[in-house]
Structure 1
Amino acid sequence: MFQYRRPAGRAFSVAVYLYEPGDGGLDRVAILLANHLRRRGVPVELWMARTDGPAAHLIDPGLTVRRVAAPSANRRLSMITHFPVLAAMVRRHRPDILYSAGNQSNMLVALAALGSDTRAVGRISNPIVRPGRQGPGAWARLARFRTIARLCDLTIVMGEHDRALLASSGDVRLLPRPTVTAAMEQARAARRPAAPGAPHRLLMVGRLAAQKDQATALAALARLPHLDWRLTIAGQGPLQADLERQCAVLGIADRVDFAGYVGDPERLAALMGQAALLLQPSRWEGLCATLIEALACGAQVVATDSTPNMHPILAEAGQHPVTPVGDIAAFAGAIERTLARPAEAAQLAAAVRDHGVDRALDRYLRAFESLVDAPVHHNHPSPALS
Structure 2
Amino acid sequence: MKRLLIILHDLSAGGAEKMMARLAGALVEAGNDVTLLMLTGGGVNVALLDPRVKQVALNSPRSASAVPALARFLRHNRFDAQLAALTHVNVVAIAAAALSGTLTRLHVSERNAFSRDKHVNPSLRVRLAYWLAPLLYRLIPNPVICVSRGVARDLVETTIARDRDVTIADNPVLDNDFLQRTPGRPTHPWLLDKRTPVIVAVGRLAAQKGFDTLIEALARLQDRRVRLLIFGEGGLRTELLEQAARLDVAGRVELPGYTPDPMAQIAAADCFVLSSRFEGSPNALVEALSTGTPVVSTRCPYGPQEILEDGAVAPLVPVDDAEALAQAISIEMAQPRMRHYPSRISAAARYMSGRAVQTYLVALLGEQRS
Question: What is the alpha-carbon distance in structure 2 between the residues aligned to residue 184 and residue 274 of structure 1?
Answer: 16
Question: What is the alpha-carbon distance in structure 1 between the residues aligned to residue 312 and residue 182 of structure 2?
Answer: 14
Q: Equivalent residue for 1:176?
A: 170
Q: Can you list the C-alpha shifts for 1:315-340, whole angstroms capped at 9, x where unaligned?
A: 3652112312x222222222223323
Q: Equivalent residue for 1:241?
A: 238
Once structures 1 and 2 are overlaid, which stretch shifts more, 176-185 or 229-238? Answer: 176-185
Answering whether residue 143 of structure 2 is matched by residue 154 of structure 1, we say: yes
Q: Equivalent residue for 2:188?
A: none
Q: Equivalent residue for 1:258?
A: 255
Q: Which residue, out of 82, 93, 98, partners 1:114?
A: 98
**Cα distance change on mapping 1:67 and 1:36 into 2, 3 Å:** same
Unaligned runs of 5+ in 1: 1-10, 72-77, 134-139, 374-386
Q: Which residue, out of 76, 84, 88, partners 1:104?
A: 88
1:29-48 correspondence to structure 2 within 5 Å: 29-48=19-38
Q: Which residue, out of 75, 78, 89, partners 1:91?
A: 75
For 1:97, the aligned partner's letter is A
SS at the partner of 1:368?
helix
Question: What is the alpha-carbon distance in structure 2 between the residues aligned to residue 289 and residue 25 of structure 1?
Answer: 7
Q: Return the offset for 1:25.
A: 0.9
Q: Equivalent residue for 2:123?
A: none
Answering whether residue 360 of structure 2 is matched by residue 348 of structure 1, we say: no
Q: Return the offset for 1:300.
A: 2.4
**Cα distance change on mapping 1:332 and 1:188 into 2, 3 Å:** farther
SS at the partner of 1:259?
strand
**Cα distance change on mapping 1:200 and 1:188 into 2, 3 Å:** farther
For 2:166, the aligned partner's letter is V
1:331-346 correspondence to structure 2 within 5 Å: 331-341=325-335, 344-346=340-342
Question: What is the alpha-carbon distance in structure 2 between the residues aligned to residue 23 and residue 371 of structure 1?
Answer: 34
- Is this contact kept in 1: 2:21–2:49, CA < 8 A? yes
Answering whether residue 116 of structure 2 is matched by residue 130 of structure 1, we say: yes
Question: What is the alpha-carbon distance in structure 2 between the residues aligned to residue 148 and residue 297 of structure 1?
Answer: 40
**TM-score normalised per structure 1:** 0.79
Once structures 1 and 2 are overlaid, which stretch shifts more, 158-167 or 179-188? Answer: 179-188
1:218-297 correspondence to structure 2 within 5 Å: 218-263=215-260, 267-297=261-291
- Is this contact kept in 2: 1:316–1:351, CA < 8 A? no
- Is this contact kept in 1: 2:111–2:281, CA < 8 A? yes
Q: Which residue, out of 54, 57, 80, partners 2:44?
A: 54
Q: Which residue, out of 15, 21, 24, partners 2:5?
A: 15
Q: Which residue, out of 181, 197, 200, partners 1:200?
A: 197
- Is this contact kept in 2: 1:216–1:328, CA < 8 A? yes
Q: Can you list the C-alpha shifts for 1:65-87, whole angstroms capped at 9, x where unaligned?
A: 1122412xxxxxx2222222212
Q: For the aligned residues, what is the CA RMSD?
A: 3.0
**TM-score normalised per structure 2:** 0.82
For 1:239, the aligned partner's letter is L
Q: Can you list the C-alpha shifts for 1:191-226, whole angstroms capped at 9, x where unaligned?
A: xxx9xx963221010111222121110111011143
For 2:318, the aligned partner's letter is T
Question: What is the alpha-carbon distance in structure 2 between the residues aligned to residue 107 and residue 330 of structure 1?
Answer: 40
Q: Return the offset for 1:189.
A: 8.5
Question: What is the alpha-carbon distance in structure 2 between the residues aligned to residue 203 and residue 183 of structure 1?
Answer: 24
Question: What is the alpha-carbon distance in structure 2 between the residues aligned to residue 103 and residue 277 of structure 1?
Answer: 33
Q: Return the offset for 1:187.
A: 6.3
Between the two proteins, the alignment pairs up a number of residues equal to 342
The percent of aligned pairs where both chains have the same amino acid is 28
**Cα distance change on mapping 1:188 and 1:288 into 2, 3 Å:** farther
Question: What is the alpha-carbon distance in structure 1 between the residues aligned to residue 132 and residue 342 of structure 2?
Answer: 41
Unaligned runs of 5+ in 2: 120-127, 185-190
Question: What is the alpha-carbon distance in structure 2 between the residues aligned to residue 127 and residue 363 of structure 1?
Answer: 20
- Is this contact kept in 1: 2:8–2:84, CA < 8 A? yes
**Cα distance change on mapping 1:354 and 1:232 into 2, 3 Å:** same
For 1:204, the aligned partner's letter is A
Q: Return the offset for 1:171.
A: 4.8
Q: Can you list the C-alpha shifts for 1:282-311, whole angstroms capped at 9, x where unaligned?
A: 222111110111111112222223314321
- Is this contact kept in 1: 2:183–2:264, CA < 8 A? no
- Is this contact kept in 1: 2:36–2:53, CA < 8 A? yes
Question: What is the alpha-carbon distance in structure 2 between the residues aligned to residue 295 and residue 47 of structure 1?
Answer: 31
Q: Equivalent residue for 1:310?
A: 304
Q: Return the offset for 1:244.
A: 2.2
Q: Larger relative contact order (C-alpha < 8 A, sep ≥ 6)? A: 1
Q: Return the offset for 1:181.
A: 2.7
For 2:233, the aligned partner's letter is Q
**Cα distance change on mapping 1:319 and 1:127 into 2, 3 Å:** same
Q: Return the offset for 1:372.
A: 7.2
Question: What is the alpha-carbon distance in structure 2 between the residues aligned to residue 159 and residue 39 of structure 1?
Answer: 23
